[in-house]
Structure 1
């Protein structure tokens, strides 16, 4: 079942994230309180895939009123190649359209061959005409790779 994520899903979603090799988890942003804040701001756009009470996929999805963004898109390794990622992406896109958002982006680590292949196969465009910059406002928000 594909459905909207709620904060009650956090523990199961976090367990999924912790099981994905190479997954980057931020100490503050991906904590219970960080995800709760994100879902409060974006209550209808994040998606989970669930089977028999187990979360087997997730997308954190939000927008700023102009552009949507996908974060932490993943499917449990045992459930891949079944169209679950595609279904979740389509559900998140539909939720963004309901909010009148016309474009969505995501960041995939260059080393993430599985993810990069997935997005290319779905028809997403790799932007090579821009540089991605970031500036850390809170040094305590460190990233741990699983």
Structure 2
């Protein structure tokens, strides 16, 4: 069954967070607050999507760009809906929309403690970067930003 995809809006926030919390391997942080999510969606309009299957919310993905590179975040599909092409449909939609905007390269961060996530991305042809290190700094916020 092909999932039905639609653009995410801030009105979907509660359902989005519920889905993320019910998905193994997905981390929810302070930076995923309603306000921060609203800023992200406003800065990256029409680039984040929800997937419905059998009338139920089954998955989501958020994407954006910095003008040069795309970034995918929070790809999540509930376990009961996996292996139906939902993740692939969500990722393809994001990549197509980014390409429409002239963005040819995209990145995703996968937590080291999420081997199923890493296996998914590698199975889709994404390359693990070994030539860079990502450094982060949190200013004036909690450690969970």
TM-score, normalised to structure 1, is 0.91
User: Residues 25 and 117 of structure 2 are in contact (CA less than 8 Å); yes or no, is this contact kept in structure 1?
Assistant: no
- Give 1:76 deviation, angstroms: 0.5
Higher RCO, Cα 8 Å, sep 6+ = 1
- Give 1:53 deviation, angstroms: 4.7
Aligned Cα RMSD in Å?
Answer: 1.4
Counterpart position of 2:99: 97
Aligned length: 142
Counterpart position of 2:123: 121
TM-score, normalised to structure 2, is 0.91
1:63-142 alignment to 2 at 5 Å? 63-140=65-142, 142=144
Paired with 1:32 and 1:65, the residues of 2 have a C-alpha distance of 24
Counterpart position of 2:23: 20
Paired with 1:52 and 1:36, the residues of 2 have a C-alpha distance of 28
Paired with 1:24 and 1:111, the residues of 2 have a C-alpha distance of 11
User: Residues 49 and 62 of structure 2 are in contact (CA less than 8 Å); yes or no, is this contact kept in structure 1?
Assistant: yes
1:136/1:78 Cα in 2 relative to 1: closer, same or farther (>3 Å)? Answer: same
Q: Deviations over 1:40-94 (max 9, x none)?
A: 0001111110135532111110111111101111101100111100110000001
Counterpart position of 2:12: 9
- Give 1:136 deviation, angstroms: 0.8
Paired with 1:141 and 1:99, the residues of 2 have a C-alpha distance of 34
> Equivalent residue of 2:38, what SS?
helix
